[in-house]
Structure 1
Amino acid sequence: MAWPEISIEDFPPERDDEPSSLRQDIIDELSDHFACALNRELLKNPDEQIAKQRVIQNFGDPIKIARQLWLDAMKEKIMSQRIMTGISVLMAVCGVIVVGMVWSMMKESQAFNTRMMAQMTEIANRPVPEVQTESAAGEMNQVSFQLVQGKQGGKPAIGFTGELTKRGENIDVFKLDAVSNDEGVMDFGKLPWGKYSLNIKSPWDEHYYSELTVLPGRNYSQTIVCPSAAPVEVPVRFEVQWPNDLKSDDWLLLCDFRPRPYHRGMSALSRKIGVENWIRSYPGDGKWDYPMACLINQENQVFRCPLDQNRLFQNLDIDKLEAKQSINMIEGDQYLLPVMYLLKKQDLSELSRLEPHQTERISPYLVLHHDRKFTSELYSNRINLQSGGFGGGSGSFNPTTMIVAQHKIAALRTAAGKNNPIQFANGIQFSKLLKFTAAKDHDNVWRIKLPELSQLKIPEGTKPVEANGSGGGLF
């Protein structure tokens, strides 16, 4: 069934002076706008239900919009009818007044009555002035963009596709497509003034987003610096600063770089070209061309941590993994590390337990704030980048959290004794979110300083706060 579901019956009662095709024309036009908006939202989020909800949030109830469009189309006829009715009533009132005045003056002077009747007749016969309305179209303005490669004054960027969307009232919204020509010019032609959203896509699927305003009577042009080629793989080395109580060949650090949801959508790789930010979205099928999770040992050797078909951890054998001094990552300005796990080699055989199946009972991790004054519960299937948990500001990203292997925490708690008031948390939060850059022609060294295990001791008087990571899960 077509979406949105709008029928002829959703409109007001039919009028005699209504064009026969008006309702169907409105349904066709509105359905086309909603379909275009849905396709655009699906590019950002493949979940169709969420995409439909966002379209409804942006545009409103399609049935209400259809009724409003019908009313706008019939407004002139309805208003004309009302005006004529009002004039008729006014004329009737004037007639009554005239008759009353004539009757009251008849005794004074027949001549005065005659002149008064003539004056009133003249007033009644005056033509009603027509109501003038201004056109909503306004003056048209030329809108175009000059695309260059790599830097200002660079070579023309050819073959980039652009989508320009008019913003504003629902009836005024439209979308245009264009492609940059051999001179790098992306021309959208003459358009009405107002606010627009621009989305430019490279031939290798990197995106540039911006918003612009076209002023009345002024043409709009802008130079946009574009990438000259697709991002490439670059080598990355890890330098982990291990504390003294963790200097053992048995320890491994698992860094989890998988994409995470946050308050504006899904995290994605980006790189800055000139002053412009170009984003490479993660594919909906989960396939990607960089190591989403890495294991690092005491010698700073790195192992690519394989995931299952659902991008979840799976049980591993360390002897079957290849150790390297560096690992190749796709060019990107911000690799975000919201969580990492401190494991022993024996824990790899049960690595899938970090992410229990949705039907299993999930036990939260008890996590200390970086100043060790608060604790929070963190669920493995809800780890994201949304602000919350320890009171981060609106729109801020959660700091990185380090989780220590459950076996080690259990051993520490047992050693402390049941009657010992000092207990140990499962992990601790850093003071900020760790971010790394993989850049071409750079020595990409990603440095991580790990806290002492003693930092996991929960001080007396530590206060709990509400669960961290709420508001949606990754998987």
Structure 2
Amino acid sequence: MAWPELSIEDFPPRRDDEPSSLRQDIIDELSDHFACALNRELLKNPNEKIARQRVLNQFGDPIKIARQLWLEAMKEKIMSQRILTGVSVVMAVCGFIVVGLVWSMMKESQAFNSRMIAQMEEFADRPVPEVRTDSATGEMNQVSFQLFQGKAGGKPAVGFEGKLTKIGDNTDSFTLTEKSNAEGKLDFGKLPWGGYSLNVTAPWGEAYHKSLTVLPGRNYSQSIVCPDVAPVEVPVRFEVQWPEELNSDDWLLLCDFRPRSIDRGASALSRNIGTELWTRPYPNPMDGTWDYPMACLINRENQVFRCPLDQNRRFKQIDHAELEARQSVNMIEGDTYLLPVMYLLNKRDLDELTQLEYQSGGQVSYMVLNQNRNSLSMIIPAHLNLESAGGGFGGSSNVDKTTLIVTNRKIAALNAAAEGDDSAPRYASGIQFANLLKFTAAKGQDNVWKIKLPELSQLKITKEAQQAWGQGSGGGLNFPQGSPGGGQGFF
């Protein structure tokens, strides 16, 4: 009988994925190994029993070895089957969990819908409260204004138009328009609380503006002092203190009062009535109304000439023989006439007055000293005077001092005398005052506008100003003739 004695039944139960010859192959191979080992031992010791025992001691139980070889041959398939079984179990568990969550969410949704339906039925059964429109609700508030003429408590201001605009988004904003009645009352009725903008306009066009806030649950009322009549023309005289070196009838002072915006957009055509500021915008130049002197020429005898302007409010050529001398000139009532720039001219300069601010389509600039004469800067009058300059380069925040500009005929003559002498002083085209000159034209008052001109020696450029200019401009001083956008002046 073959040794060792192995049979197919000594292996674990047969599997469906097991190769059909696996067990027999293991038996044949193992039997061959044991037979070879037994033959080697018999050569050493002819006793067969002892030889078999030595082989068993060396290799171990053949049945266990056969089972181990079978397990190693089937291990990969067994592990794959176990992993697949585990994954299937996990997926089945997850499926049960998902089904449980869905079922739980459905139950919660049903409960929430039930509660919502119950609340809606409860709300539907509640009685509708009565809507109150009085101010006690905090939603609607009485808004009105009492208008007086001339002073607080004066006669009622009748026929003034008021526009009240609710400040908010497109859905919240609205505008109401009312006229003051015989008692001078502007009544806008009951309005929601919030921010508003009020504009009150007199029958002749003067306007008053303010912003206000209506608080919840509180009515709003205010008294406003209005002008009793439209602004009228009042006489204005000039008193100019001239420097001694200009003791000649050939010299004229051009004062430029052309309109420009000042604080909060108010123009020179504004006046205080009580504590309220009323303004009237300047008319369109093409309109032709309110024809008053926007620019005046004054001689050494303080006679005044109206300086005519073109339809764009720009200077134009003037024939001195056609000017009419007056002791005073009529100006529209106003609390703030600004004088940002003046020009010291010779009569011969009048026929070239169009070049005062513009040359060849460009804007003329002038080099001027500051009031302390320690710094130079370039001034562009076209940016300082016209109302269209707005709040940019020549806006109200930019002009805080009056500037006197001297005709280049005079400056050129003074500088020509210093030609060839490097130590001789040079002259700037102008000098700034310490502040911005402002004047008032009021009814029933002696409107005398006083102006003191500096001595021409003040226009000498100091070494300090020359050094500051060189450092600030990146170069030294030069004295070119007037040119658009740069240079020293005109003529």
TM-score strictly above 0.5: yes
Task: Give the partner amino acid of 1:368.
Answer: L
Q: Distance in 1 between matches of 2:231 and 2:237?
A: 19
Equivalent in the alignment of 1:341: 343
Shift of 1:176: 0.9
Q: 1:201 to 1:154 in 2, by over 3 A?
A: same
Equivalent in the alignment of 1:195: 195
Q: Distance in 2 between matches of 1:314 and 1:139?
A: 60
Shift of 1:275: 0.7
Local SS of the residue matching 1:126: helix
Q: 1:361 to 1:397 in 2, by over 3 A?
A: closer
Q: 1:172 to 1:344 in 2, by over 3 A?
A: same
Instruction: Answer whether contact 1:197 1:210 (CA < 8 A) is retained.
Output: yes
Instruction: Answer whether contact 1:98 1:120 (CA < 8 A) is retained.
Output: no
Cα deviation 1:425-464 (Å, max 9, x = unaligned): 1111111110000111111110001001011111113123
Q: Distance in 1 between matches of 2:454 and 2:368?
A: 13
Shift of 1:401: 0.6
Local SS of the residue matching 1:316: coil
Equivalent in the alignment of 1:374: 375
Q: 1:362 to 1:453 in 2, by over 3 A?
A: same
Q: 1:396 to 1:95 in 2, by over 3 A?
A: farther
Local SS of the residue matching 1:127: helix
Task: Give the partner amino acid of 2:115.
Answer: R
Shift of 1:355: 2.6
Equivalent in the alignment of 2:319: 317
Equivalent in the alignment of 1:411: 413
Equivalent in the alignment of 2:447: 444
Instruction: Answer whether contact 2:138 2:218 (CA < 8 A) is retained.
Output: no
Q: How does 1:236-315 map to 2 (within 5 A)?
A: 236-261=236-261, 265=265, 267-285=267-285, 287=288, 288-315=290-317
Local SS of the residue matching 2:115: coil
Local SS of the residue matching 1:371: coil
Q: Distance in 1 between matches of 2:280 and 2:259?
A: 12
Shift of 1:364: 1.6
Task: Give the partner amino acid of 1:381.
Answer: A
Q: Distance in 1 between matches of 2:333 and 2:415?
A: 43
Equivalent in the alignment of 1:139: 139
Instruction: Answer whether contact 1:272 1:278 (CA < 8 A) is retained.
Output: yes
Match among 449, 464, 473 for residue 461 of structure 1: 464
Local SS of the residue matching 1:231: coil
Of 137-146 and 425-434, more deviation after overlay is shown by 137-146
Q: Distance in 2 between matches of 1:140 and 1:120?
A: 42
Cα deviation 1:231-266 (Å, max 9, x = unaligned): 111111101011212222111100000012468557
Cα deviation 1:182-214 (Å, max 9, x = unaligned): 111111111100010111100110000101111
Task: Give the partner amino acid of 1:282.
Answer: Y
Task: Give the partner amino acid of 1:215.
Answer: L
Q: Distance in 2 between matches of 1:94 and 1:195?
A: 57
Q: Distance in 2 between matches of 1:404 and 1:168?
A: 52
Matched, 1:127 2:116: yes
Instruction: Answer whether contact 2:252 2:346 (CA < 8 A) is retained.
Output: yes
Point out the structure with max Rg over C-alpha. 2
Q: Distance in 2 between matches of 1:263 and 1:270?
A: 11
Q: Distance in 2 between matches of 1:256 and 1:152?
A: 36
Instruction: Answer whether contact 2:254 2:345 (CA < 8 A) is retained.
Output: yes
Instruction: Answer whether contact 1:147 1:223 (CA < 8 A) is retained.
Output: yes
Of 280-289 and 174-183, more deviation after overlay is shown by 280-289
Matched, 1:364 2:392: no
Q: Distance in 1 between matches of 2:115 and 2:193?
A: 41
Q: 1:123 to 1:282 in 2, by over 3 A?
A: closer
Q: Distance in 1 between matches of 2:221 and 2:319?
A: 58
Q: 1:419 to 1:364 in 2, by over 3 A?
A: farther
Shift of 1:267: 2.8
Task: Give the partner amino acid of 2:313.
Answer: R
Q: Distance in 2 between matches of 1:195 and 1:94?
A: 57
Q: 1:97 to 1:212 in 2, by over 3 A?
A: same
Cα deviation 1:367-421 (Å, max 9, x = unaligned): 111111111111232224878989x9x9464211111011111111111224435
Equivalent in the alignment of 1:175: 175
Q: Distance in 2 between matches of 1:426 and 1:125?
A: 90
Cα deviation 1:285-312 (Å, max 9, x = unaligned): 3543321011111111111111122211
Which runs of 5 or more structure 2 residues have no equivalent in the other structure?
Answer: 1-96, 124-130, 132-136, 474-484, 486-491
Q: Distance in 1 between matches of 2:280 and 2:112?
A: 73
Local SS of the residue matching 1:238: strand
Matched, 1:154 2:154: yes
Match among 352, 360, 366 for residue 350 of structure 1: 352
Q: 1:191 to 1:121 in 2, by over 3 A?
A: closer
Q: Distance in 1 between matches of 2:454 and 2:390?
A: 24
Shift of 1:350: 1.1
Local SS of the residue matching 2:416: helix
Question: TM-score, normalised on structure 2?
Answer: 0.66
Q: Distance in 1 between matches of 2:99 and 2:227?
A: 78
Local SS of the residue matching 1:416: coil
Q: Distance in 2 between matches of 1:170 and 1:271?
A: 34
Instruction: Answer whether contact 1:386 1:396 (CA < 8 A) is retained.
Output: no
Q: 1:239 to 1:151 in 2, by over 3 A?
A: same
Q: Distance in 2 between matches of 1:193 and 1:320?
A: 62
Instruction: Answer whether contact 2:336 2:438 (CA < 8 A) is retained.
Output: yes
Matched, 1:400 2:389: no
Equivalent in the alignment of 2:59: none
Which runs of 5 or more structure 1 residues have no equivalent in the other structure?
Answer: 1-92, 102-116, 471-475
Local SS of the residue matching 2:153: coil
Number of residue pairs aligned between Structure 1 and Structure 2: 353
Percent of aligned positions with the same letter in both sequences?
59
Q: Distance in 2 between matches of 1:311 and 1:153?
A: 41
Shift of 1:273: 0.6
Root mean square deviation of aligned Cα: 3.2
Q: Distance in 1 between matches of 2:111 and 2:378?
A: 87
Equivalent in the alignment of 1:28: none
